[in-house]
Structure 1
């Protein structure tokens, strides 16, 4: 059965329910610039929110985008202006500055990387526009530059993955490779740290690490390189499902059996990953819940109403082995 890992200090908004998702594959251009709909301040009932998304690099990100778009609707009191940064920090900074010029009521974004945000966030603060971080944090000494950060505990995700690996494989001298997320991104930094801390003192050894940028294509390419370089890989730790699924393709092409010849642990728990886990091609998945739209809507409404909000809201996640994945798949929303 699945094990529920409740986060210390987690703030779960009990009144919220997740919106059912459908697949989202196309990237979206900025909406609302010069378009129809309420402008900021034109209606006390409508909150104009500018959101800058990282990109569309994975199934997780598609689910995250859909949750935001399905929740921040006119029916729910929002005029959503959405932009896709296509994995580039400069695009996000440009989008945020555009939202400031448009005088939106709230700005929200999921940062591509942790650093380099102070200048544009100070511009938003000077304009009196509150900022909410979703999914990923920023590395800034001034936490007054944003109202709240909603997202999972990435260190704990890596730790959970590492602890399971130690429980299962310590004492067998496993050689592991790591498929890392985007260099400089909070989930990459934190998942690496959590996993490394968890396996410290065991005989599991990470023999190589390389970024696959959270994509299936690059995960496959990196794994192909690992397989050419090493003939003794026992375990793969992938920072997300998509890179793990790419690794499966590379392992199978090399004539090996994923989940048996080479064990695989991933993070996210999107449907494709969960199916691979149920099929035995992945061995363990730590969830990272992408359904942040309801939380974002609730916090934005509170901020606009002048209510106090928690600085850090930690999303509740689970972890799955094969049997738990089989049980969860029929009702999986993402």
Structure 2
């Protein structure tokens, strides 16, 4: 590991080529080059930085998109941790929610002979072929935030991120306790769910986790599950449709904060309140600062944390692999459940 380093990178993009026009450098054939570091370069865009260091650990990172506040925080965490100052050379690509763009990025990373490939996959399925190509090239693949479904789990080295199933189950367990506390645990409870990107491990895991708890209660009526695409705009649109279809909703589950913000817009427009003293129970996921403020205000009943700050753990794992150490196949981030009772202890330190 680490034998390719920056000097093994050869394809640097048209902006880099333009920059190098004014610099006298000898590149012969497919031979390596030294003395330059191209940071956070994509196939179509990116700024170029120079650094006289050819011993950096090169990492190609395919981020699934920038669909939410959470995702932006996750990207910044990785960029900060995999900086040149920390001994890394990061090539960043934003897939903009397109799996085929991730395939293209991974193949580009392979051709550039990076040391590691990091992927936040858009969806779980369809990764076998491209990861087989990375394995054949001898490049370790690390999954970040979202997991995948492959026939051979040796196609990736390790996963770093969140336990989506546990998050969904935590939301369900909170609802159990809350309904018991309010003395309505035996009444019929009508529930709608605004789900994230269909087929993503976040959508699958949170749905299954919450569903496992709901299955214990015959009086929990799952009225509808609708795709809100993890975005505020789609969350609003989906909530508006659900309100037209159902007039007896008791619980709204939003699988991320951005969809919850959109749902709240639709609910406010309809004159419907949420929270401790509201008309509906509102459950969300992520734990962004804006959402925690709404928890404090009593608008969101509970927010199950999904920790985006995985960059530091990712860097540690890569350094462990560089040192020849064994790493766990799965590495989960620490996460919490936020309610009005505990949110004050965490809201001020929130960085996203």
Out of 13, 22, 30, the position equivalent to 2:42 is: 30
Out of 320, 342, 349, the position equivalent to 1:302 is: 320
Q: Does 1:151 align with 2:149?
A: no
Out of 65, 69, 73, the position equivalent to 2:83 is: 73
Aligned to 2:221: 205
CA distance in 1, matches of 2:172, 2:89: 42
Do the aligned residues in 1 keep the contact of 2:193 with 2:253 (CA within 8 Å)? yes
Which region of structure 1 is more displaced relative to structure 2, 30-39 or 80-89? 30-39
CA distance in 2, matches of 1:140, 1:147: 13
Residue 59 of structure 1: CA displacement?
A: 1.0
| Structure 2: unaligned runs, 5 residues or longer | 1-39, 180-184
Compared with structure 1, are the counterparts of its residues 63 and 34 closer, same or farther at alpha carbon in structure 2 (3 Å cutoff)? closer
After superposition, residues 70-109 of structure 1 pair within 5 angstroms as 70-109=80-119
CA distance in 1, matches of 2:345, 2:262: 24
Aligned to 1:288: 306
Aligned to 2:172: 162
| Structure 1: unaligned runs, 5 residues or longer | 1-27
Residue 206 of structure 1: CA displacement?
A: 1.1
CA distance in 1, matches of 2:103, 2:216: 42
CA distance in 2, matches of 1:206, 1:253: 24
Compared with structure 1, are the counterparts of its residues 29 and 222 closer, same or farther at alpha carbon in structure 2 (3 Å cutoff)? farther
After superposition, residues 1-334 of structure 1 pair within 5 angstroms as 30=42, 35-37=48-50, 43=54, 45-169=55-179, 170-202=185-217, 203-259=219-275, 260-334=278-352
Residue 168 of structure 1: CA displacement?
A: 1.4
Residue 71 of structure 1: CA displacement?
A: 0.9
CA distance in 2, matches of 1:46, 1:37: 13
Q: Deviations over 1:86-119 (max 9, x none)?
A: 0000011101111111111110011000011111
Instruction: Give SS of 2:336's match.
Output: strand
Residue 29 of structure 1: CA displacement?
A: 6.8
Instruction: Give SS of 1:242's match.
Output: helix
Compared with structure 1, are the counterparts of its residues 221 and 33 closer, same or farther at alpha carbon in structure 2 (3 Å cutoff)? closer
CA distance in 2, matches of 1:100, 1:163: 44
Do the aligned residues in 2 keep the contact of 1:29 with 1:84 (CA within 8 Å)? no
Moved over 3 A (4+): 31-39
RMSD over aligned Cα atoms: 1.8
Tell which has more relative contact order, 1 or 2 (C-alpha 8 A, sep 6+): 1
Do the aligned residues in 2 keep the contact of 1:252 with 1:258 (CA within 8 Å)? no
Q: TM-score, normalised by structure 2?
A: 0.83
* Corresponding pairs, count: 304
Residue 308 of structure 1: CA displacement?
A: 1.3
Q: TM-score, normalised by structure 1?
A: 0.87
CA distance in 1, matches of 2:92, 2:50: 13
CA distance in 2, matches of 1:209, 1:176: 9
Do the aligned residues in 2 keep the contact of 1:182 with 1:188 (CA within 8 Å)? yes
